[in-house]
Amino acid sequence: MTTPRTILTADDNQQIRMLVKAALRSLGHELIEAVDGEQAIELAVERVPDLVLLDVTMPKLDGWEVLHFLRQRPETADIQVMMLTTASQTMDLAHGASLGCNDYLTKPFSPGDLRAHVERMLGA
Q: Are strands 30-34 and 6-10 parallel, antiparallel or unpaired?
A: parallel
Domain, as residue range, for 109: 6-122
Would you say 59 and 3 are in contact if contact means Cβ atoms under 8 Å apart?
no
CB burial class (10 A; 0-12, 13-18, 19+) of residue 7?
Answer: buried
User: Which band of pLDDT confidence, cut at 50, 70 and 90, is reported for residue 92?
Assistant: confident
Does any domain span residue 84?
yes
Q: What is the pLDDT of residue 96?
A: 82
Does any domain span residue 1?
no
Of the candidates 92, 88, 90, 81, the one whose C-alpha atom is nearest the C-alpha of residue 122 is: 81
Count of domains for the chain: 1
Does any domain span residue 35?
yes
Does any domain span residue 44?
yes
Domain CATH code at residue 99: 3.40.50.2300
Tens digits of per-residue pLDDT, 4-35? 899 999 999 999 999 999 999 999 999 999 99
Would you say 37 and 63 are in contact if contact means Cβ atoms under 8 Å apart?
yes
Q: What is the pLDDT of residue 70?
A: 97
Of the candidates 87, 91, 82, the one whose C-alpha atom is nearest the C-alpha of residue 117 is: 82
pLDDT at 1 over 60: no
Does any domain span residue 52?
yes
Q: Are strands 103-106 and 30-34 parallel, antiparallel or unpaired?
A: unpaired
Does any domain span residue 88?
yes
Q: What is the pLDDT of residue 2?
A: 61
pTM over 0.85: yes
Tens digits of per-residue pLDDT, 55-89? 999 999 999 999 999 999 999 999 999 999 887 77
User: Which band of pLDDT confidence, cut at 50, 70 and 90, is reported for residue 124?
Assistant: low
